[in-house]
Structure 1
Amino acid sequence: MDLTRFQQQLKGTSSKTRPLPPVEKWDPDFCGDINLTIALDGRWFYEGSPIGRASLVQLFASVLKREGDSYFLVTPVEKVGITVEDTPFLVTQWEKTTDQKTGSEVYQFTTQTGDEIKLESAHQLELRVPPKAIQDQQATPIPYICVRRNLWARLHQNVYYQLLENASEQQNDALTSFYITSNRQRFVLGEVQK
């Protein structure tokens, strides 16, 4: 399987003006693994070389599927396995917006592939211990955000620190929690034992 043929199969399935392809409905035959890796830093590599075209990375990201702990690129006729070192997405930007209907503040995140996520419900954010290569000595859990269809993003370190600067604190006898409020809900970014 080469990426050129895979790209040809995807022509017309996704663009900025069209919704994402319905990969959750596609169940093609597994065609084997390809040497494509999404690195810890969010870069995509094919055969050890970075994929430099952002539009190509966005196209492949639009047909990414997760089954259990495995990741695949899928078309209506083929499914190929890829390697993901942590998560397929990395949140590189954030902003606070105001919801036009409710008037409440909502945090909006953007990934390295241009996906935008509004933080609106509790299931969208969870604290996880990151891979050993990027964790601190205490293996402190950090925030991960659900992008779509069981595909998650880790916050880039700069984004995480910026959010912590904007966070509120809540203390109890055992720990201090740092949280942000989005869509009138609290989202814990981290906890420190006293």
Structure 2
Amino acid sequence: MPYEPPPELAGLSLAEVAELAASRKLPPVAQWEPETIGESHMCIAADGRWFHEGDEIRRPAMVRAFASILRRDADGRHWLVTPTQKLSIEVEDAAFIAVDVRQDAGGLAFRLNTDDLVIAGPEHPIRSEGDPDTPAIYLAVRNGTEARLNRSTYAQLAEIALAGGGFTVSSLGATFPLIPA
């Protein structure tokens, strides 16, 4: 079956984003603990591009497939996990890039570079790193992984914060500062 990307974020309500995100069937990588551990020879660059043995993976379907089996452990190491093996993958910054955001009905919905949709909130918190002059904003995605907001998405989020009268944003009842402590 051909891949159908979700509609543009601007045309979706928060409920529609939640429904699309819930309908995505992802492998249960958090439950898998394979005995075979190795190296994938893969890297996710800070700009979100995926590489294997130095060559860029240019097929979006391949990137989406690999992203669906990605997890990060408590030590911060990233892994591609299947029922039979766990392969390390180098991640220069974050595994994903948040490329769009929309505020609707008390929530913030994000689109990632892999077309994943994530709603910020208690299960998907936003955190701010760096310093006040050059913050880096991250969104928790799944299985310990995160997305870094690209420049335009950060600007959108800053506009939402300023419209609310400060440097924080709220989503699903949780409040997140946009300036690092």
TM-score band by shorter chain is 0.7 to 0.9
Structure 1 segments (4+ residues) deviating >4 Å:
none
Once the two structures are aligned, what percentage of the paired residues are identical?
36
TM-score, normalised on structure 2?
Answer: 0.77
Q: Distance in 2 between matches of 1:110 and 1:20?
A: 17
Q: Is the 8 A contact 2:79 2:88 kept in 1?
A: yes
1:142 aligns with 2:106: no
Structure 1: which amino acid aligns with 2:147?
A: A
Q: Match for residue 64 of structure 2? A: 58
Query: Secondary structure of the equivalent of 2:141?
Result: strand
Quote the RMSD (CA, aligned, Å): 2.6
Of the two structures, which has the highest relative contact order with CA contacts closer than 8 Å and spacing of 6 or more?
2
TM-score by length of 1: 0.72
Asked whether the equivalents of residues 71 and 142 of structure 2 are also in contact (C-alpha less than 8 Å), the reply is no
Per-residue deviation, residues 80-139 of structure 1 (Å, max 9, x unmatched)? 1110001101101111223xxxxxx2110011111111112286111122xxxxxx8x77
Equivalent residue runs for 1:48-127 within 5 Å? 48-67=54-73, 68-98=75-105, 105-121=106-122, 124-127=125-128
Give the number of the structure whose residues are more often strand, by fraction. 1
Residue type of the alignment partner of 1:119 = A
Separation of aligned partners in 1, 2:107 and 2:124: 15
Instruction: Sort the Cα spacing of 1:184 and 1:29 in 2 relative to 1 into closer, same or farther, 3 A.
Output: closer
How many angstroms does 1:166 deviate by?
Answer: 2.4
- Map 1:27-46; keep pairs closer than 5 Å: 27-46=33-52
Given that residues 58 and 113 in structure 1 are in contact (C-alpha distance below 8 angstroms), is that contact kept between their aligned partners in structure 2?
yes
Query: Which has the higher Rg, Structure 1 or Structure 2?
Result: 1
* Preserved contact between residue 128 and residue 180 of structure 2 (Cα < 8 Å): no
CA-CA distance at 1:59 after TM superposition: 0.7
- How far, CA to CA, are the matches of 1:165 and 1:40 in structure 2? 24
Alignment gaps of 5+ in structure 2: 1-21
The one-letter amino acid paired with 2:109 is Q
Distance in structure 2 (CA, Å) of the matches to 1:26 and 1:95: 33
Q: Which residue of 1 aligns with 2:152?
A: 158
Q: Which moves more between the two structures, 180-189 or 158-167?
A: 180-189
Structure 1: segments with no counterpart, 5+ residues: 1-15, 99-104, 130-135, 172-176
Instruction: Count the aligned residue pairs.
Output: 159
